[in-house]
Amino acid sequence: MTNHTVVRGGFTIERHYNVPPTRLFKAWSDKDELAKWAAPANNWHFSSECFEFKVGGREVSQFGPQGEEPYRVNSRFDDIIPNERIVTAFSIAKGSQRISSTVLSVEFRPDGKGTMLVLNEQGVFLDGQETPEMRKSGTDYQLDSLDTYLAANAG
């Protein structure tokens, strides 16, 4: 029998963006836009084969280094308030190996002429495959990419 371990953890990140909440919300809710910024590491790909953006809807996405077996994400949209917040619960696996299950909430708060994004993710990291610290650094990378993407695609 394999040795099953469960590490609990989470983090909160706050970021200011120079675009209004409507623009930021669109970048999070449009699968074509997500594919352009949501890869969590340099030269990784990200794409969604199922993206039902409604409460109770599913998302199935994959990401990873080119040419390797991808990580697969299975999500459920738990709560959506347009231009204000998105809450999802999702699992990540690679092949038959489960990596994690987490709840993610992203809030979009007006902040001057821009938006304060408040992201919280917490959950369980399974069987030594990932840690909350690794997840946070992947998320920091995504949020940097989002800033770069929005600077080039303000509309």
Partner 1 sequence: MNNRSAVHGTFDLKRTYPSPRADVFDAFANPEKKRQWAHGAPAGAHSLDFRVGGRESVEMPGPGGGTFKYEGIIHEIVQNERIVYSYTFDMGGGICGATLTTVELADDGDGGTHLKFTEQGAYLDGFDGPKFWERGTTSLLNRLAEHLAS
By CB under 8 A, residue 82 contacts partner 1: no
Binding to partner 1 by residue 26, rule CB under 8 A? no
Q: What is the CA radius of gyration of the chain?
A: 15
| DSSP assignment string, 56-80 | T-EEEEEEEETTSPPEEEEEEEEEE
The answer to whether 87 touches 78, Cβ cutoff 8 Å, is: yes
Q: Give me the least distance between CB of 24 and partner 1, in Å please.
A: 15
Is the CB of 5 or the CB of 148 nearer to partner 1? 5
Give the range of 23-31, 64-72, 99-107, 133-141 binding partner 1 by CB under 8 A: 99-107
User: Which x/- pattern over 38-77 shows residues binding partner 1 (rule: CB under 8 A)?
Assistant: -----------------xx-----------------x-x-
Sheet holding 44-51, edge to edge: 6-17, 114-126, 97-111, 85-94, 71-81, 58-65, 44-51
Q: Give the helix ranges, DSSP H, for 20-128.
A: 21-29, 31-37
State both tokens at 23: 């623009």
Chain residues that interact with partner 1, rule: CB under 8 A: 4, 6, 8, 10, 12, 55-56, 74, 76, 78-79, 81, 84-85, 87, 89, 91, 98, 101-103, 105, 107, 118, 120, 122-124, 126
